[in-house]
A and B are shown apart, each in its own frame.
Chain A
Amino acid sequence: MTEKEYLDALNKALKWLPKPEKEICFNYAREMIEDRIENGFSEAEAVAQLETPGQMAKAFLEDRGSLKFKFSLPLNSGLTVILLVLGFPLWGALLLAGLMVLLAGFLIAGCVPFLCVVLTVSLLFVALVSVSASPFVMGTVSFTAGIIQFGVGMMALGGLILAALGASLSIPWFKSAVMKTAQNLRSLFFQEVKKW
């Protein structure tokens, strides 16, 4: 396969992409072929070493996150549209209620990482002030009060480490839960268009 044939095949695999995006993929393929030719390979050998045009197109699209989706409800039928409009008070209310329940769930779940971050910041200040000011408390208030304040500072330091750990675990978990739910919601109404 020559470079032109490879690029033509790549063009077919990406035919529904906008031209500027296609050009990015073409330039990448051209560079890969030219690099191999500069290393002493023939044009056919250089092309043969690349992925197939379909594989390259798929990898390119997945990398750019530009998979296309289409609305999955058959809106081309007039009857469906009429039924959707007439049934809107029922399905619209149910959909809205479902979305509100989902939103409430996200707000409650989002409290966990939020609380962890707030605790981390506030305990950091408590630990800093408690530990650094404990010698002054020993001097101005009483020695035992200073010792207790130092202990409080140590506890706050431990608490902030645990809260930061909680934040580092709960933030990715929350983000992943939101992404998965959004994907599931999208799959209810949209279908992925596969071109290969």
Chain B
Amino acid sequence: MTGGHSSTSSFEMKHFLLRLFIFLAPVGLLLLGLEILQRQLPNNYVLKRDRMAVLHDSLETLILGSSHTQLGINPDSLDGKAFNLALTAQTLYFDHFLLTRYLDSMPRLRRVILPISYSSYAAESDRNPGDYNKSYHYAFFFGSTAFTDWYSIRRYSLVAIWSVKQSVDRAWAYYTRGDSLVDSGPNGWMAARDQHNLAKNGQESGLFHDQYYDSTLIPLNIARVTDIARLCRERHIELVLISTPMWRSYMEHIRRDRYHHMVSTTDSLSQALGIPYYNFTEDPRFVEEDYYDANHLRIQGANKLTTLLRDTLNAQNR
């Protein structure tokens, strides 16, 4: 069966599409302008990438992990030159990825600090819809290809990663209010001054971390930690596992059995691999004033944790 439309209707359609193109062209140009603008703006990923490019030769300690260490460990309070490469919601996959990426360019590195949190073993970067875009951040800024699709526009566009709304809001905040858009300082540490409502936040974040907890991922993430340990051992670098302090409202809203499983798994790994593990999760030395929210420390808490960690490591090495 054959069909088709007349040359008149074909002409009409081309005319119609031309008008549609003329209508859409300004919107396309607007989006292109927004994309160019976004690439000029600072952000945490660019900061950490650029600082690593400058510091890698001199670094002695590298801090990996998620926001728990991003806020919780102040590199300046550690001995020697240290940098905090932790980023919000960074999973063990990307800890492994970043370490592999930079390891051979850090000749003086002698210690890596890797946090293990409640859901570290049971998380993956493509599971939580909120964090799914994280993989595209690593693709865009660090050249990762994991958990991303080559055909997705998010591999190539910051506006697509952040959305038009966030891109406009960021540009607006930067140019009109002078907001920095970067949470971390030059040493990679995010120094938080304020404090949230710990009770409310504990409930929300506890439930949130349970929401995407996937126990089938545990073997995969244990293998990642084991491989990080191997990479460090081969280069005579000390790997230190830590769990950062959590406020009681957070602990009340997570599943206790899962928490104990995380601790016992890390203890077993620590013994099997011969690496130290320091668990500060319910450490009574951390009081309400130390917390930014129920699962993150603020400045005084971070300084306390870093000092404790430094002293412990020094005592261990003596």
Chains A and B belong together in one complex? no
Partner-A contacts on B (CB < 8 A): none
Partner-B contacts on A (CB < 8 A): none
